[in-house]
Chains A and B, each alone.
Chain A
Amino acid sequence: MDSYQQILFKLKRYWSDRGCIIQEPYDVEVGAGTMCPETFLRVLGPRPYRVAYVQPSRRPADGRYGENPNRLYKHQQLQVILKPTPDDVIEQYLGSLEAIGIDLRKHDIKFEEDNWESPTLGAWGIGWQVMLDGLEITQFTYFQQCGGIDLEMAPAELTYGLERLSAFLQNKESVYEIEWTPGVRYQEVRFADEQQFSVYNFELADIEALWQMFALHEKECQRLLDMYAKYEPKARFPVLAAYDQVLKCSHLFNLLDSRGAISVTERVGVIGRVRKLAVGAAQLWMAQQQEAA
């Protein structure tokens, strides 16, 4: 039986062998691997790119104080971007499952329609949820639009739910029982994280302070975006720094949401504010790339 980290090593090795850059997780809080600049910005434009990375993904509202065996505030995604998409992308994907020891002649794989969409990022794609013996293990998406921009190519995005996959491979009923490395369970590594952040996210986070932080990051982002037009030389302009501010806003939005601070009526409006920044950053990234070309 492979440990959790062995599974990770194998998947990274597999995609490394297929020409992917193996990146480390992005160091700003995100709700999904898609939000990292390695995906959000790199899928834009015509330049080929292949990357794989594990991204801890924080979804405050999904926290369960470490009490639910299948739900986590922060779960780990393996994110793979293949741009352009190889013709045999599905075969390559199935190969990755075999590489971690899933004998697909003894298991049942189905591709069920599931189109992914993120209103906050102005992004969507067409694809499937991949079901392994009735368990959703991967979101498979052909990216069509990001930051409100139609993508030149339609990169394939594979998002593996690592805890689920590991629990499946190790035959565990609870993610907390996953063997991270021999002798160490997932529980020992992550339980405190789940419990404490659930307390913070649901109970103690200061709503007023969160709103202030949201406004500060929003303002800083917009300030940067507005500077681009006059800034020279364009190549040095910090689009990436502006995009980090978008991520901060997005995470603060999620926190406020889990804190119950955003009424349903306000919700659409706040999502719109974040999307506006995301779209702005995506446009500047494109402009800067074109400038350089």
Chain B
Amino acid sequence: MANPNFLLEIGVEEIPDWMIRPALEHLSKAFATLLADNKLKGAVSWVDATPRRLVLAAERLPKGQKDSVELVTGPPKSAGEGAAQGFARKLGVSVDQLETTATPKGEYFSFRKKVAGRTTAEILAEALPGLILGIPWPKTMYWTTKSGARFIRPIRWVVALLGSKVVPFMVAGVASSNVTSGHRRFGKAKVKVTIRAYEEKLRANHVMVRAGERRGKIEEGVAALTAGKGLGCRTDEALLDTLTYLTEWPTAILGSFDPAYLSLPEEVLVTVMRHHQKYFSVAREDGSLAPHFIAVMNVPSDAEGLVVAGNERVLRARFNDARFFWETDQKRKLADRVESLANVTFQAKLGSYLDKTQRVVELVKQLGGDEHAQRAALVAKCDLTTDMVKEFTDLQGVVGGLYLRAQGEPEAVAQAVYDHYKPASMEAAIPRTEAGRMVSLADKLDTLRECFKIGMIPSGSRDPFALRRAAQGVVKILVEGNSALTVRAHLNGDAQLEEFFLDRIRYYFREVRGFAYDEVNAVLAAGWDPLTDAASRLEAIRAVRPTENFEPLAASFKRIRNILKQADWATGISYAHGLLEAGPEVDLCSRFEALQPEVTAKRKSADYTAALQLIASLRPQVDLFFDKVLVNSPDPNVRRNRLALLDSLLREFSSIADFSEIVTS
């Protein structure tokens, strides 16, 4: 890799941490496109960022574009000398400098115009302001005037160096230069840089430009703080990411809290530390929560312990609040709060959470939920009325479960409520118990049905009620919870909702489970309810697909489908043995009829792999049939009989998967 000869640093007020990486990706791509569009060689060396700067370095940028020749075509030769003179005059050249060029439409006057290449500096100076302001952000702002530039936060400086020279331009009222800015309190406000010394200079001013280096420093700090103390930091990649992009010079510190707070549920303590304070939790060797936390500062040290003390005090106040909420909430049992749900809106048009609760209880009954599941459905949403959940909304469900346990409800009920928002994502776990899965399913199905009923249907990126996630959750619970439930019966016969579900099912099998798209299409075309059955059929296809007979047979099935389609064949007509022709046709029919009961037996016992292997064994007879027998027999009765035979075969053997959906090579 060559040394970079171009550097761009966009100095910005603190960018939200989670937006930084996508912005860098865009910046890198946009710069590569800029080079390509201008026929400039060179490549992006790296992009990186801190909260206050987006940086791009590129290498092997040439001094400028090569000179080029452009062919300018004028009037047709047939237009004569006069036209040529006019053409030459327009170009400012003499007629004898013109040439003629042959085109499919005839000969034309033409001129080879030399175009001088522009310098890279010139091209960059012109393009970079647009490139910078073209970085897409989830939400932008203006800071000069209403008609001024928009960006994620105000741009305060820009470094743009090509070799040793500044690429001069203005963006959002800021002139590019070779002057960057160090850490807000441990660096100089103005730091002159060169490309070669860029990172060094910033490091001397307490800025680590590279996220990887900052992340490493946090990890080392954490390890050093816990080493030899019988403590371990709970890993939390997302938080590590956040802290990496929230700091320019991260330093981890270890704080403590009064072990008395450990009497509060761990979930509450961890949420306070994680979501409100961005602290890592610390565990003892046995995995239990230790009365410590790890915070990450944006300064090099805490020599006097002031930062630790400050953070400890904040955490103490937060924990005190949590304890206060816990104690207040216990004054009224969760089970006594059902009626209060009338005052909590589920959705303006869909009424209150009391209405929702009543529907979900009913649905749990219909789904066959036991008494614990029904009880859990009744009290599942009650924690929305507690102070704890009002303060820590992420803990909805969890708090309900904890309170129910503390209030002496059966463990099965408490667990079901605790789990009923699960799975939180496609990677997360589903509810642990049958009752939990039941309540979760009913809750999500209800949301889906009701929202679709009033036309609140996700489109594009608009999905305010997270209906995709809800449907995804239903699919995941049904499949991974190995449920025999048939979900279709509970979709209200709503065609749009069914289609929406089917989409989520495809997504699940493809993206989460890694099945090929044609396998998914083939299996779903043969039915998708219950989903566990579709999953078993998919596994079987995946197992049988590499065997030698499968894909050729799939190709034959596709052929059969096409033949029937062309013949406009009405399915379900039976064939007559008497009309079969001896040889390949009779052989195919006998083999088919011999296999049929065996396949059915295997299919009924859900041994789909064996059933598919049996079906695949039909390949020699099918091949021979197509080789030797003319389906479109001149005798219309024979022809119809053949179509009926093929149709029976296709129908009989397509109930595991529609093989014609399989893409064969």
| A and B associate in one complex | yes
Chain A positions within 8 Å of B, measured between CB atoms, are 68-71, 84-85, 87, 90-91, 94, 104-113, 115, 125-126, 128, 132-135, 142, 144, 150-154, 168, 171, 173, 263-265, 268
Closest A residue to B310 using CB positions: A133
Residues of chain A lying within 8 A (CB to CB) of residue B317: 69-70, 173
Interface check B298, CB cutoff 8 A: yes
Q: Is A154 a contact partner of B310 (Cβ separation < 8 A)? A: no
Q: Report which of B142, B277, B343 forms a contact with A144, defined as CB distance below 8 A.
A: B142
Number of residues from B at the complex interface, CB < 8 A? 48
Q: Kindly provide the distance from the CB of B63 to the nearest chain A CB, expressed in whole angstroms.
A: 34
| A68 to B324 Cα, complex, angstroms | 9
Expressed in whole angstroms, the Cα–Cα distance for A109 and B146 within the complex equals 30
Given A85-B143, A109-B185, 17 more contacts at CB 8 Å? A87-B156, A104-B184, A105-B299, A108-B299, A112-B246, A126-B139, A133-B314, A134-B310, A135-B310, A152-B146, A153-B144, A153-B145, A154-B141, A154-B143, A168-B313, A264-B344, A265-B345
B297 on interface, CB distance cutoff 8 Å: yes
Chain B's nearest CB lies how many Å from the CB of A60? 16
How far does the Cβ of A24 sit from chain B's closest Cβ, in whole Å?
29
Find chain B residues with CB under 8 A from A90 CB: 13, 184
CB pair A173–B313 under 8 Å, yes or no, is yes
Query: What chain B residues lie within 8 Å of A144 (beta carbons)?
Result: 141-142
User: Can you give 26 A-B contacts (C-beta < 8 A)?
Assistant: A70-B321, A87-B154, A90-B13, A105-B186, A107-B310, A108-B297, A110-B246, A110-B298, A111-B51, A112-B246, A113-B14, A113-B16, A126-B153, A133-B310, A134-B310, A134-B314, A135-B314, A142-B141, A142-B154, A144-B141, A153-B144, A153-B146, A154-B141, A154-B144, A263-B343, A264-B344
Q: How far is the CA of A260 from the CA of B303 in the complex (A)?
A: 49
Instruction: Point out the residues of chain A lying under 8 angstroms from B144, CB to CB.
Output: 84, 153-154
Chain B neighbourhood of A85, CB < 8 A: 143, 154
B162 within 8 A of partner (CB): no
The 8 closest A-B pairs by CB, nearest first: A133-B310, A113-B16, A111-B14, A264-B345, A108-B297, A126-B141, A134-B311, A134-B314
* Inter-chain contact B315/A134, CB cutoff 8 Å: yes
Name B141's closest neighbour in chain A (CB-CB): A126
CB nearest to A85 among chain B residues: B143
* Interface 0/1 of B125-147, CB less than 8 Å to A: 00000000000000101111110
A265 to B346, CA, bound (A): 10
Smallest beta-carbon distance A224→chain B, Å: 28
Residue from the list A106, A142, A151, A153 in contact with B304, Cβ < 8 A: A106
Residue of B nearest to A130 (CB): B14
Cβ contacts under 8 Å, A268 to chain B: 348
Pick the contact of A134: B13, B184, B246, B295 (CB < 8 A). Answer: B295
CA of A263 to CA of B304 in the docked complex: distance in angstroms?
A: 51
Chain B 144-161 per-residue mask, 1 if CB under 8 angstroms from chain A, else 0? 111000000110100000
Contacts of A133 in B (CB 8 A): 306-307, 309-311, 314
Per the 8 Å Cβ criterion, residues 285-313 of B in contact with A are 295, 297-299, 302-304, 306-307, 309-311, 313
If A69-B317, A265-B345, A268-B348 touch, whether A132 touches B13 (CB-CB below 8 Å) is no
User: Is B320 interfacial (CB-CB < 8 Å)?
Assistant: yes
User: Which of A84, A171, A263, A264 counts the most B-chain CB atoms under 10 A from its CB?
Assistant: A264
Q: How far is the CB of A145 from chain B (nearest CB, A)?
A: 10
Taken together as a complex, chains A and B put the C-alpha atoms of A263 and B482 apart, in Å, by: 42
Q: How far is the CB of A49 from chain B (nearest CB, A)?
A: 15
Q: Which residues of chain A are within 8 angstroms of B603 by Cβ–Cβ distance?
A: none
Task: Check if B352 is an interface residue, CB within 8 A of chain A.
Answer: yes
A71 to B314, CA, bound (A): 13
- Selected from A108, A125, A126, the residue in CB contact (under 8 A) with B307 is A108
* A146→B333 CA distance, assembly (Å): 43
Query: Provided the pairs A70-B321, A173-B317 are in contact, do residues A108 and B16 lie with their beta carbons within 8 angstroms?
Result: no
Pairwise interchain contact B184-A109, C-beta atoms closer than 8 A? yes
Chain A residues within an 8 Å CB radius of B302: 106, 108
Which residues of B have CB within 8 Å of A94?
184-185
Q: Report the bound CA distance from A133 to B309 in whole Å.
A: 8
Most buried by B among A104, A108, A171: A108
A106→B156 contact, CB < 8 A: no
- Which chain B residues lie closer than 8 Å to A168 at the CB level? 310, 313
Which chain B residues numbered 29 to 66 have a C-beta less than 8 Å away from chain A? 51
Say yes or no: is B316 at the interface (Cβ < 8 Å to chain A).
Answer: yes
Which chain B positions have C-beta within 8 A of A107? 299, 306-307, 310
Residues of A within 8 A of B320 (CB): 69-70
Residues of B within 8 A of A110 (CB): 14, 246-247, 298
Nearest Cβ on chain B to A170's Cβ, whole angstroms = 12
Residue B329 CB within 8 A of the other chain: no
B82 → A minimal CB distance (Å)? 59
Residue among B146, B189, B247, B316 with the most chain A CB within 10 A?
Answer: B146
CB neighbours of B143 from chain A (8 A): 85, 142, 154
Q: Which residues from A are CB-within-8-Å of B14? A: 110-113, 128
Of all chain A residues, which has the CB nearest B16?
A: A113
B607 located at the interface, meaning its Cβ lies under 8 Å from any Cβ of chain A in the complex: no
Least CB distance from A202 to B in Å reads: 13
Complex alpha-carbon distance, A21 and B27, angstroms: 43
Distance (whole angstroms) from the CB of B525 to the closest CB of chain A: 45
- Flag whether B409 is at the interface (Cβ < 8 A): no
User: How far apart are the CA atoms of A265 and B303 in the complex, in Å?
Assistant: 53
Q: Across the interface, do A265 and B311 meet the contact criterion of CB distance under 8 Å? A: no
A68 touches B321 (CB 8 A): yes
Which B residue's beta carbon lies closest to that of A168?
B310
Q: B434 on the interface (CB 8 Å rule)?
A: no
Please state if B316 and A173 are interface contacts (CB–CB under 8 Å).
yes
B587 within 8 A of A: no
Q: Which residues of B contact A126 (CB under 8 A)?
A: 139, 141, 153
Q: A9 CA to B61 CA in the complex, in Å?
A: 57
Q: Is the CB of A106 within 8 A of B310?
A: no
Question: Which parts of B269-286 form the interface with A (CB within 8 Å)?
Answer: 277, 279
Q: By CB atoms of chain B within 10 A, which of A70, A91, A133, A142 has the most?
A: A133
Contacts of B345 in A (CB 8 A): 264-265
Question: In the bound complex, do residue B343 and residue A264 qualify as a contact, i.e. CB atoms below 8 Å apart?
Answer: yes
Residues on A with beta carbons closer than 8 Å to the beta carbon of B241: none
* B342 nearest in chain A by CB position: A263
Within 8 A of A (CB), among B174-202: 184-186, 189
- Chain A residues contacting B315 (CB-CB under 8 Å) are 134
Asked if B498 is at the interface of the complex by the 8 Å CB criterion, the answer is: no
Instruction: Answer whether residue B518 sits at the interface, using C-beta atoms and an 8 A cutoff.
Output: no
Known contacts A133-B306, A133-B307, A133-B314; A154 and B142 CB within 8 A of each other: yes
